[in-house]
Structure 1
């Protein structure tokens, strides 16, 4: 809910903080940077202190970050508070997946992930219209205050229903790897967010990107010889895991921009209110919920490989179609297109998230979850950054003093192309990839 509720409020929030709406992409990126920096250590922390303990602590940190967001009066304070929220989110993402994997038989993993996602999709359903309603009729600060009772309920439920899984034989924490990966990913993500020159010079932002890439290269070289690397890149040798991470990251770059671009295009481009834009944006979540009801059957019938290829094509078309919306587009048509823009990506996520565990040993789950989770979150953050940059450059190339409706369609085309870019990697999978999870039996040619 927190991820989706803020997107419809960016124009008003930016006005109160004295910034341009596109500049607020930095707040979205800060949250993802917090995720990306701290997710790698969370698998180790969960093994050391127990899944339930870490999960409840994560919710507490997230709640504290929410309160600081509500109290923020400047862009710097707001970005710092969002970073703290990201730290809390970082501890929740991999720990939740570890709990699922260790609680559910492997043959039921796809079904479990699909069912588990249904209640979590209530957040995207409620978030956009709720954020628009609060922003339109009350104040955007209440968007973050509502996280407090939700967090308290989450802490209670986690304590009641989650076992405190621990691993007796643990790898030592890779402190050097954490420092290298944290500095590299932080500088790269923030540098890309600032390279438009709105807050700092483009040269300084480019320098941040270059240093970030350098640190990440150092980490890759270090990880090859480290006995217990923080992000174990050797797991990418497993075909199903490699495609899940690499193809999934390309797809998520495209999709990560959609929740940021769509509400802005409806409000800034088409002049809708925050509440009206939120009521359209939330349609994607209804499409995602419907997909979860049939996802297991589709995978059983067609298998991971075929679904990943054809569904990526349909998702790319649906996401790129957002750029065709105009002030004269009927409301029902927008709802239908956004509904499909939730259905197809949700199918893709179920594939990637399930397939990642198809051929993993139980001993590799924590490390694999850390690696896949951090790549996923950084990809989503890159989507926001790339979407914002395309809008800014489109506006400048067309000579617009401010962002207008015509500046958005190139961004939607770009995010559709990123979704298409995942197809060549998916094509490398064998027809029976992950069949132990889906039960799919490929038809042999005569």
Structure 2
């Protein structure tokens, strides 16, 4: 067991280690979207049915995040981090070598196994070893990497596809990952915690429940005629989650404590987080497809046209705290949800002839609304948790974020498939299908606004104290 005094530890090396991990994750989450049409051509698949290449990663991360703390305590922070990065890099190489969609999905699952442990373990090392007065600085340094990834991801993805091959979007993780493994070996302590008995039965119920629901949605998106199979998968997934609830009520150390849901702001925040993802997470997936498949832009141009979303997300972060302090959580969340509704619904009006001076401000407004919403709803979710609940609450929030990404893309794919079936696959029908999908997606943001209206006027005031 490695023992290091917090006061003797420079926060910057650990922050850079976490930044490398977060950069790889955030880059990987966005770089693939612009490359999907090119990958689909090589694999002889429809670009409109490649969603599982994205969903499989997010779902794997969501299912395995609860294991991260236990793994770090059992095997040590350094060992756990280096192995997780190695598995992530190995999965990246496997993605680049894939020749079929099923191989790519399997490789993305392997990537997800590494990704599920990589960031939580790096965060845990910062929390344990960085002095309290340096944590905010370390967190900001790490967070900037997460914000830069979505900016360069679509641009790099489009550039690789246009000038090289799509395989490089995965192979570029190799040098970054190896650098992370090397730096971690020099600066990350290898501390073992008190790893109690893991709730394996609860973990399996929860993980397979999530998989059942997501795969069921994917079956409908791929083939509208397989409704029976899809409903069976979704029903089975819901059944397993219900069984988990009964199990958690009786388990002495459940994977996810049900007591968390008794905190009103936590419950509203978690449901809100899911609605944010369902309404908004499909947009970065749908827009590159629409630009390339319906409007016939090349991958590089499509990537450049997605980048303003991430730019506005970064810019609004500067004002997020001030806005929340001035207007309060309830007002800010309701207005931001309405802003999301308007911006996503307005995307239904985008055509190939839409001028850039209209298009760019629209998607930047969407990016700003999403960024502000994430800041507000995430901090609100954990704001009223006590010290004993904070760790489990943070883990569950991370899970919900990843589950929401998977559900958001899956639901967007189902809606798009339904409209494609109704309007046809010709150029005009396909363009209308994308437009109507954006309209339907915006309705979830209306539900989000209604949910946020249930907040009390003073909710979040404890977070607004300077």
TM-score if structure 1 supplies the norm length? 0.91
| Counterparts of residues 125-204 of structure 1 (less than 5 Å) | 125-159=151-185, 167-168=193-194, 170-198=195-223, 201-204=226-229
Q: Do residues 20 (structure 1) and 20 (structure 2) align?
A: no
Deviation at 1:423, TM superposition (A): 2.2
Hey, what's the Cα distance between the residues in 2 that align with 1:389 and 1:112? 40
Deviations 1:47-79 (A, max 9, x none): 434444433332221111100000001111111
Give 3-state SS (helix, strand or coil) of 1:224's partner.
helix
Which residue of 293, 312, 332 maps to 2:337? 312
Residues 1:364 and 1:224: Cα distance change in structure 2 (over 3 Å): same
Q: Which residue of 1 aligns with 2:393?
A: 368
1:211 equivalent to 2:236? Answer yes
Give the conservation status (yes or no) of the 8 Å contact 1:110–1:350: no
Superposed CA RMSD in Å reads: 2.5
Q: C-alpha deviations, 1:269-305, integer Å up to 9, x for none?
A: 1111111111010110100110111222222222222
Distance 1:47 1:287, change over 3 A: same
Which residue, out of 77, 86, 98, partners 1:60?
86
* SS, match of residue 408 in structure 1: helix
Aligned pair 1:388/2:413, yes or no? yes
Match of 1:269 in 2: 294
C-alpha contact (below 8 Å) 2:423/2:430 kept by paired residues? no
> Structure 1 residues 100 and 405 mapped into 2: Cα distance closer, same or farther (>3 Å)?
farther
Q: Distance in 2 between matches of 1:104 and 1:294?
A: 27
Q: Report how far residue 2 of structure 1 moved.
A: 0.8
Pairs aligned (count) = 439
Paired residues of 1:185 and 1:212 also in contact (CA < 8 A) = yes
Query: Whole-Å Cα distance in 2 between the matches of residues 111 and 413 of structure 1?
Result: 40
Match of 1:352 among 360, 377, 383: 377
User: Shift of residue 102 of structure 1?
Assistant: 5.5
For residues 376 and 132 of structure 2, what CA distance do their matches in structure 1 show? Answer: 14
Deviation at 1:362, TM superposition (A): 3.0
Query: Structure 2, unaligned stretches of length 5 or more?
Result: 1-26
CA shift in 2, pair 1:314/1:227, >3 Å: same
Quote the residue 1:226 is aligned against. 251
The CA distance in 2 between the partners of 1:374 and 1:9, in whole Å, is 26
Do 1:115 and 1:292's aligned partners in 2 also have CA atoms closer than 8 Å? no
Q: Are positions 1:410 and 2:436 aligned together? A: yes
The corresponding residue for 1:43 is 69
Q: Point out 4+ residue stretches in structure 1 off by more than 6 angstroms.
A: 103-112
Could you say what secondary structure the match of 1:287 adopts? helix
The Cα shift of 1:365 comes to 3.0
**Structure 1 position 173, deviation (Å):** 0.6
In structure 1, runs of 5+ residues without a counterpart are 441-446
Q: Is the 8 A contact 1:250 1:421 kept in 2?
A: yes
Conservation of the 8 A alpha-carbon contact between 1:114 and 1:350: no
